[in-house]
């Protein structure tokens, strides 16, 4: 990895993309895309679902492609990266490339704090699932609350006035619009947005909702971007390009 760099204006150019779903038997290579990003941006952010089934082989394929990216890489895991029950192995392999995988932590690069958690389900606004009834429901809500708390704890360690929150699950309903309404509760949780709005956050990126919408805002006005590779971006590229 190259040393962390920003442009001369002090603004950091961040390329963000999610839901690559690398497969062991797939023919898709991201090497050229990562090479392009390295020329266009200062930092690459990966917003989860990096692999399709969370296997070591898929992580190794992605790691090989990431070696073409000569800029810092920051990211979080998604639900697909947990499918095989070995997310620690996926993390180990990807971290060997120099990637900073965040799971309730933060890292500062050239004056910008990157804060990451996977997030979880639970629904949005007045339709957020409450902790009532069966133990299974209470366990689900407790997990959603834990992810929001882990995000809060990570935010408390950010010293920079510029901060990018990296998630896999959505914090607002606006960026999952386009998906069937019936599955909205499984695409994210307003608890994440409630946490975000208690801190000074410049922007939020997430993935997961392949048929969602690119842009929205938290109730507190923080810009949120759905950067799943399947989502059309205003710049016509497969990744969003943000200046922080």
Quote the pLDDT of residue 27.
Answer: 76
Q: Quickly state the pLDDT bin for 8 (edges 50, 70, 90).
A: very low
Quote the pLDDT of residue 70.
Answer: 94
- CA atoms of 23 and 45, how far apart (whole Å): 20
Exposed, middle or buried, 113 (CB in 10 Å: 0-12/13-18/19+)? Answer: buried
- CA atoms of 169 and 119, how far apart (whole Å): 5
**Is the pLDDT confidence value at 4 over 80?**
no
**Is the pLDDT confidence value at 6 over 80?**
no
Dihedral over Cα of 120, 123, 128, 134: its sign: negative
- Which tokens hold the place of 171? 């914090």
DSSP one-letter string for 56-96: HHHHHHHHHHHTT--S-EEEE--SGGGTTS-HHHHHHHHHT
- CA atoms of 126 and 232, how far apart (whole Å): 29
Q: Indicate the pTM of the whole model.
A: 0.94
- Predicted confidence (pLDDT) per residue in 94-118, tens digit: 999 999 999 999 999 999 999 999 9
Let me know: does 55 contact 174? Beta carbons within 8 Å.
no
Give the 3-state secondary structure of 168-210: CCECCCHHHECECHHHHHHCEEHHHHHHHCCCCCCEEEECCCC
Contacts of 174 (CB under 8 A, 6+ apart): 213, 215, 216, 217, 224
**Is the pLDDT confidence value at 1 over 80?**
no
């Amino acid at each position: 990895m190259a040393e962390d760099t920003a442009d001369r204006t002090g603004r950091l150019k961040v390329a963000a993309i999610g839901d690559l779903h690398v497969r062991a038997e797939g023919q898709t290579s991201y090497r050229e895309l990562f090479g392009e990003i390295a020329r266009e941006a200062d930092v690459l952010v990966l917003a989860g679902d990096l692999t399709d089934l969370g296997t070591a082989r898929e992580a190794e394929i992605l790691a090989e492609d990431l070696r073409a990216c000569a800029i810092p890489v920051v990211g979080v895991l998604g639900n697909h990266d947990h499918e095989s029950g070995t997310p620690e192995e996926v993390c180990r392999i990807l971290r060997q490339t120099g990637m900073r995988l965040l799971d309730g932590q933060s890292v500062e690069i050239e004056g910008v704090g990157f804060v990451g958690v996977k997030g979880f389900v639970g629904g949005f606004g007045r339709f957020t699932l409450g902790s009532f009834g069966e133990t299974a429901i209470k366990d689900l809500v407790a997990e959603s609350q834990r992810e929001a708390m882990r995000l809060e704890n990570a935010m408390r360690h950010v010293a920079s006035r510029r901060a990018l929150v990296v998630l896999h699950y959505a914090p607002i309903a606006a960026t999952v619009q386009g998906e069937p309404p019936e599955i909205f509760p499984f695409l994210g949780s307003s608890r994440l947005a409630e946490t975000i709005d208690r801190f000074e956050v410049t922007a939020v990126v997430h993935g997961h909702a392949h048929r969602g919408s690119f842009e929205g805002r938290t109730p507190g006005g923080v810009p949120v971007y759905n950067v799943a590779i399947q989502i059309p971006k205003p710049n016509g590229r497969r990744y969003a390009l943000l200046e922080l």
